[in-house]
Amino acid sequence: MSAPAHPLAEILARETVVLDGGLSNQLAAQGCDLSGALWSARLLADAPGQIEAAHTAYVRAGARVLVTASYQATYEGFARRGLGREETSELLRRSVRLARRAAGEREDVHVAASVGPYGAMLADGSEYRGRYGLSVRELERFHRPRIEALAEAGPDVFALETVPDADEAEALLRAVGGTGIPVWLSYSVSGGATRAGQPLEAAFSLASGNDQVIAVGVNCCDPRDADRAVAIAAATTGKPVVVYPNSGETWDAAARDWRGAVTYDPESASNWQAERARLIGGCCRVGPSRIAELADRMTTGGRGPG
């Protein structure tokens, strides 16, 4: 499969690009209510200006890739709220436009259309388990319509992210195959395996012969798990690596609060970069201040984000 020539892929061949951080935590910091099954995707309909403002905060922090608010945006999820398919398609396209507006006229800021896993639509935590009881073909049918809607808005890259299961990764790669848009494939992991328990070597190898995949790696995981995964991703595929872990805190569902210490450290980015990581950022609970530290370290040698 031949990949289209794309500026971001060319950039990754020679330098590191800073990703944004967690969208939900920045929206919460702005005072947004993220309760409900649609999570941050609800704001695509109810408060799109808040999403644009969150993206803008990350641009100001030094992020050069903005991940859209479409992670949990699905036809099924919005249908439960009473929205039809065309209305949902428009919200998916809007997610790309909002990030593009936040980027402004800056040609060095790219937009990644987020495609979250099937389990995100269920809103029951199964996105961190995988093994939904669906075939690869069934998962491909689920993902393809929203991928096509997002593609219509012209993102620079697809972020196939927080993927818990190699079977779902296969379905996602099939679904994006006809879009002509580059992708990165990013698993959610625990230890040396996907959340569904598959060895990372086998999971990453799905991308090895696919030139549409410009980077492979992990996100939404403990920073300590990222260390091992980055090395495995690079060794298995030979591709640039994408890595954007969580803060290190854990969610206490009973107390509805975050517990534990923050272990995300921008200094770790140097180690990841040494292992061929070329897209580096943060996920849940990693906000603009941390991304500013990361941008300072990775892009300006300590002189501050550009």
CB neighbours of residue 144 within 10 Å: 18
Rounded CA gap, 183 and 159, in Å? 6
Asked whether 77 and 37 are in contact (CB, 8 A), the reply is yes
Q: 3-state DSSP: the chain helix, strand, coil percent, rounded to 5?
A: 45, 15, 40
Rounded CA gap, 115 and 88, in Å? 14
Question: Alpha-carbon dihedral of residues 104, 109, 111, 114, nearest 10 degrees?
Answer: -120
Q: What is the number of alpha carbons within 13 Å of residue 50 lying toward its C-beta?
A: 20
SS3 annotation, 129-171: CCCCCCCHHHHHHHHHHHHHHHHHCCCCEEEEEEECCHHHHHH
Backbone angles phi, psi at 19, to 5 degrees: -85, 170
The pLDDT score that the predictor gives to residue 306 is 37
Edge-to-edge strands, sheet with 157-163: 17-18, 277-280, 241-244, 213-219, 183-187, 157-163, 110-115, 65-67
Asked whether 134 and 171 are in contact (CB, 8 A), the reply is no
Rounded CA gap, 45 and 9, in Å? 32
Residue whose tokens read 């951080």: 21
Rounded CA gap, 119 and 105, in Å? 35
Instruction: Using alpha carbons, list the distances in angstroms from residue 209 to 11, 140, 239, 248.
Output: 20, 19, 10, 33
Amino acid sitting at position 160: L
| Positions in the chain short of pLDDT 50 | 1-4, 302-306
- Range list of β-strands (E), 95-240: 110-115, 157-163, 183-187, 189-190, 193-194, 213-219
Q: How many residues does the chain have?
A: 306
Rounded CA gap, 55 and 267, in Å? 23
